[in-house]
Structure 1
Amino acid sequence: MTTPQRPNIIFIVADDLGFADLGCYGGRDAKFGKVSPVLDRLAAAGLKFTQGYSNSPVCSPTRFALMTARYQYRLRGGADEPINSKSKGSKVLGLPPEHPTLPSLLKASGYRTALIGKWHLGYPPHFSPLKSGYEEFFGPMSGGVDYFTHASNNGTHDLYTNEEEKHEDGYLTDLISHKAVDFVNRMAPGAAQGTPFFLSLHYTAPHWPWETREDHALAQEVKDNLFHLHGGNIHTYHRMIHHMDEGIGWMVDALKKTGQLDNTLIVFTSDNGGERFSDNWPLVGGKMDLTEGGIRVPWIAHWPAVIAPGGTSAQHCMTMDWSATMVELAGAQADAEHPFDGVSMLPVLHDAKHQFERPLYWRMNHRGQRALRMGDYKYLRVDGNDYLFNIPADERERANLAKHQPEKLQSLRAAWEAWDSTVPAIPEDATISLGYSVKDMPQR
């Protein structure tokens, strides 16, 4: 199958979505019915990855990798887990405007660019989406906001159009979806003269606070505790995913009506593993962990002009690989002074059976974690203890092979340490911020 003219690209990122939360990944149905019918249909008509990962088990570091197609550790802001509201005014903790990015490279290649949804890569006046290659922006600058008041965890209003505060009534997931539909309609061939577009659609769902479209009354309750530690349940969580899924459906319908669907690459994923109400089965752990539940995430690719329907791939990949893929599709290339760490997935999009070796590396300040996935094996260190797992045989990471295969452990540990020497050391002042105390959370 040959690649047609340069496609439109829509990169959808959910927030704190678990590996198995979607129906197409084995998610359980909520009482109200299917949780994710739209995404399930996109997967059935496209390509689903079963061994895909995020660059980090926490939000803003993954977004650094998404924007740069490089390991987040190469930038100072990527070392904080994650950037929080205390960094407001910082000239350091953010995505440097001078650094080439996925949107800036695509923009230079002739694409129209927009970010609708969560930014979380530093605050104005020093950082913003418009300073890093996006022509348009609508959404919050921080990590989490109330879905109705649009207030961040420090109580300040956090909803912007470009770099100006925007006060707009409505449930945030729906506002994001409606803005995406509007953008797609404005990019229709008759309106935009056939210029391809790149849309980053970054939902805050299903991130806390736990509010559905019907929960207006909760806005006051969560105002002073955005983390909503005492609230939420699995049914609310499913509804939040379903609202996002509905909005994606509105956008897909707009693509159909404007004749843009066939040559639009839609990629869907999550910024990290799930949190307290998520379904990660059969994986263990979640957000903040380098166990599989913290970093294995859904990856769905839909592109009718190129991707054959019904495909499944076990190709290993992580967030920055998809950024490299999109740059290649746009006919652009990495800046010579900022070479990509990401590897293009384009051969797999053309042929789901195509596979290649792709070692994946991680490290975390939190609990001194490190990990390497290479082939079937995974090397993991947590709290000073080393583990070795055969992932296909033991996805729950329960059978530690370290003492039984010491040579394999040593080989992978040496490979991780060799890689670690190629990226900057973790700064002493890097912070870890869950936004709440770990002791407040139920133990997994």
Structure 2
Amino acid sequence: MNELSLAELARSHSVLGKMLDDLLHDAGGPGFFWQIGVLVACLGVAWPLARYVVRRLAARHEDSSFALRLAAVSLERAMFPLFGWVLVLVARFALAPFVSVSVLRLALVPLFGISSLYIAFYVLRRVISASGQLHGMLVLLEKVLTTLVWIGMALYVVGLLPDVIRWMEEVRFPVGGKHPISIADALMGVVWILLTVLVAMWFGSWLEERLMRARSLDANLKVVLTRVTKALLLLVSLLLSLSLVGIDLTVLSVFGGALGVGLGLGLQKIASNYISGFIILLDRSVTLGDQITVDKYTGIVSQIRTRYTVVRNGDGETLVPNEQLVAQAVQNHSFSGTNVRVAVRVQADYAADPETVIELLQRCVRDIPRVLADPVPTAFLVAFADSGIEYEVAVNIADPQNGKLGVQSAMNRAIWRTFQEHGISIPYPQRELRVLNAASVPAGAVAAPD
């Protein structure tokens, strides 16, 4: 037992740092300088090749979205180590029969690791940063991946990587009390799940780009196809990855039943908003670019998301739940046109001629900015109020996304100036007090009017 343990220790010690031992053994010899020269030559050839490919990639993604340009940066950075790795690998196998290649073997490790790291960054940015923003999850994944790659390269160089893998295969822990799995199995399961999900998301992003470029499809149909395809791809990738790991898919039936109960009890609003989103996209009652009024919000539909719809106006962007667009009355101005009616009400005293007031109201609001000449502004006599006659003047605007309050303010100012110029007064509430039994009121209780 002791001899076996000593033999294993000696064998492990001989493997430990073998790459570094070979490098130190060749240092100072003529073959060492020949390898340095070959390495510099390979990197010198790889540099112009990489610059050429980088220029082609930059020109190709010049007019692309922010997400594509962000991903292209990682791909461009991977070109130099990738070309260097290929050339050094060819030189290593070409020189191996004649001289020692310890320098080239050592150089292959960082070149391969760095190029693989940047290619992984490219994939992650294409998949995760599709919305055009550098998400915190993407930054975290890049840091974790960078740390793991450098640790793996260091372990490989010093010769400890096989021992670490062997240790992870030996350490096992039970899952469900029956089937113990090792740390290596768990890590491989995580890797398979991540790979299948990334491939599914990659294909979904590629399909989304193709669908968005199609001019023959409706905008809502594009969104529906994209989201349904992404959901199906993620579901299939998860099921496939679980099968590859060795997890029995029948155990998911319990989870599916619990999820259904949860949706029925606690997630009614969320589920309703998701279903309403697909209903809106399918029946095309509201489409991208429509001018709508829902509740107290008026603006242009800029996005139709799965849970909510973004309505943009002069005050900013409002997130309207999709359920509200289905269950409540929505005024879609784009069905018959893009014009929106803006009206204000004002009172004039009974001494003013109603026909004159109506004509002045129609005339004073015609030259207000944003007010359309067709249809022409209209004024109406609404009611005979307690203090005066109530009128309403209405105009039409074509840009409700910029807000209606500015137009209403301009209309009120124009009405005020016009009434002042023509001597028309705006009455204020008046009350008349009559004392029926004046004899019972003490003297001095009622002050004489000024």
TM > 0.5 fold call: no
Larger helix proportion, structure 1 or 2?
Answer: 2
Q: Which range, TM-score by smaller chain?
A: under 0.3
The one of the two structures with greater contact order (alpha-carbon pairs below 8 A, sep at least 6) is 1
TM-score scaled to structure 1, two decimals?
Answer: 0.21
**Rg larger in structure:** 2
